[in-house]
Amino acid sequence: MAPVADFEQMWRDLAPVGRSASSGGYFRQPFTAAERELDAWFVEQCRARDLEVERDRFGNTVAWWRPTGATGPAVLTGSHLDSVLDGGAYDGPLGVASALAAVDLLRERGHRPARPVGVGVFVEEEGSRFGLACLGSRLATGATDWEHARTLRDRDGVALEEALADVPRGEADLLAGVGCFVELHVEQGRDLVDRDAAVGVASAIWPHGRYRFDFTGEANHAGTTRMEDRRDPMLTYAMTVLAAEEQARATGQRATFGRVDVRPNGTNAVPSAVTAWLDARAETPEHLGAMLADVERRAQDRARHDGTGLTVTAESVSGAVHFDPDLARRLASPHGWPVIPTMAGHDAGVLSARGVPTAMLFVRNPTGVSHSPDEHAGTADCLAGVVALADTLERLT
């Protein structure tokens, strides 16, 4: 059996897995070799700690610490191990490694939890492979139905059901006895830097969504087709990017086109089609709806002008989340941790939306950069996060 590793050793063990030699970023898409290596590492670390590993049929995992006498609603912690394409080391794995280290610290302190404690890993939190954010937690909570999810396909046409075929799974309902969820996460902004705090607690998550824009036009020769004779979907797409940026700036919201497919993607041909994905986030569902409606209206106007076609499909929408305010206050007050909102989505938001009392702890990120190889948190802050999570679990159990 593998030895129990402390936080810093765990971090060193995880560092090379799925790391690109050229960018230094991580490619840990769900059910790929790198992500499976992380899964095997997690199970090994759980077994080294005598935690009982359970799986559900979607590939999610929870490892239980159930000392004699621990009964009643469980306290679940943990996060995810997958990454965005070329992502950072911390988004997800920090919450998993910190959860294991927090269990170790509680044991060192001699704490005997009165309730079971679970360390969980949800699959495909980023939606980087199948497009739906927080897919594992959505399936575990029933927020997304399997009949819909099983047919989702990745960029190579592999369906989720096929990708799961070789993944170790079980029959457990991992959330059945869970009374509370606490997810620790690297902060994805600079709020804690500005507040000079190593740790914070989340108050809310902005509503957000991913919308697929399918622009169609007419493939033609780049040299011989007069400019006025073209039906170029790239132009409509380009104008839509500018409209989204303008609208988001004007209203204080967020709009990003980070992914685009061009067909046939040849230098000397007017494209036949462009598919692009808008990631939109806003303070309230009304702001989100208004921003999307405005961008779509302007895109359709431009499509008429360009003689192109456009359809917009919502692929992944997450409502506003307001974390349990009493729980947030109870956790934050004794330590003076700031309580701050975030614009990033999390499995904690999915569980909260399904009625599980949920809290999030954030660990300071000195640059605020995330979803990037440059994402970072200092070791001292990570260790402060472990202590904060252990304190929180101790209080809750």
Name the site residues for Mn ion (rule: CB under 5 A): 91-92
**Distances in whole angstroms, Cα of residue 109 to Cα of each of 104, 383, 394:** 9, 16, 10
Cβ-contact 54, 47 below 8 angstroms: no
10 Å CB burial of residue 395 (0-12, 13-18, 19+) is: exposed
Structure tokens belonging to residue 25: 């970023």
Rule CB under 6 A: is residue 349 a binding residue for ligand GLV? no
Query: Number of C-alpha atoms within 13 angstroms, CB side, residue 126?
Result: 24
From Mn ion, ligand GLV, none, which one binds at residue 92 (CB under 5 to 8 Å depending on kind)?
Mn ion
Minimum separation from the CB atom of position 138 to ligand GLV (A): 13
CB nearer to ligand GLV: give 133 or 396: 133
Q: How far is the CB of 213 from ligand GLV (least distance, A)?
A: 18
Q: Is 95 in the site for ligand GLV (CB under 6 A)?
A: no
60 or 397: CB nearest ligand GLV: 60
Task: Give me the residue whose beta carbon is nearest to Mn ion.
Answer: 91
Q: Shortest gap between Cβ of 127 and ligand GLV (angstroms)?
A: 7
Minimum separation from the CB atom of position 29 to ligand GLV (A):
14
Check: CB of residue 144 under 8 Å from CB of residue 350.
Answer: no
Query: What distance in Å separates the CA atoms of residue 232 and residue 225, rounded to the nearest whole number?
Result: 11
Picked from ligand GLV, Mn ion, none, the partner binding residue 217 (CB below 5 to 8 A depending on kind) is: none
Nearest to 156 by CA among 174, 135, 129: 129
User: Which residue's CB is nearer to ligand GLV, number 321 or number 327?
Assistant: 321
Q: Which does 345 bind (CB under 5 to 8 A by kind): Mn ion, ligand GLV, none?
A: ligand GLV
Contacted by 292, from Mn ion, ligand GLV, none: CB < 5 to 8 Å by type:
none
Nearer to ligand GLV, 101 or 344 (CB): 344
Classify 131 in phi/psi space as left (phi over 0), alpha (psi -120 to 50) or beta. Answer: left
Please calculate the CA angle 373-374-376 and round it to the nearest 5 degrees.
115
> What's the closest the beta carbon of residue 14 comes to ligand GLV, in angstroms?
18
Using rule CB under 6 A, residue 345 touches ligand GLV: yes
Q: Which is nearer to Mn ion, 78 or 357 (CB)?
A: 78
Choose the contact partner of 296 out of Mn ion, ligand GLV, none; CB within 5 to 8 A by kind: none
Site membership for ligand GLV, residue 202 (CB under 6 A)? no
Q: How many residues at the interface with ligand GLV, by CB under 6 A?
A: 4
Neighbouring-strand partners of residue 117:
65, 75
We find the least distance from the C-beta atom of residue 210 to ligand GLV, in angstroms, to be: 9
Q: How far is the CB of 77 from ligand GLV (least distance, A)?
A: 18
Q: Rank residues 115 and 281 by Cβ distance to ligand GLV and give the closer one.
A: 281
Interface pattern 125-154 for ligand GLV (x via CB under 6 A): -x------x---------------------
Specify which residues 316 forms β-bridges with. 210
Per CB under 6 A, does 233 bind ligand GLV?
no
H/E run at residue 247? helix 233-251
Cβ at position 82, least distance to ligand GLV in Å: 10
Instruction: Kindly give, in sequence order, each residue whose CB lies less than 8 Å from that of residue 252, ignoring residues fewer than 6 positions away.
Output: 283
| One residue of 280, 288, 344, 356 binding ligand GLV per CB under 6 A | 344
346 secondary structure, DSSP code:
-
Residue 58 or 90 with smaller CB distance to Mn ion: 90
Cα-atom radius of gyration of the chain, to the nearest Å? 22
Produce one character per residue of 298-322: b if its CB has 16 or more CB atoms within 10 Å, e if not: bbbebbeebebbbeeeebbbbebbe
Measured between alpha carbons, how far is 154 from 163 in angstroms, rounded to an integer? Answer: 9
H/E stretch holding 248: helix 233-251
With beta carbons less than 8 A apart as the criterion, state whether 346 and 206 touch: no
**Distance (Å, whole) CA 326 – CA 328:** 5
Q: Which residues bind ligand GLV (CB under 6 A)?
A: 126, 133, 344-345
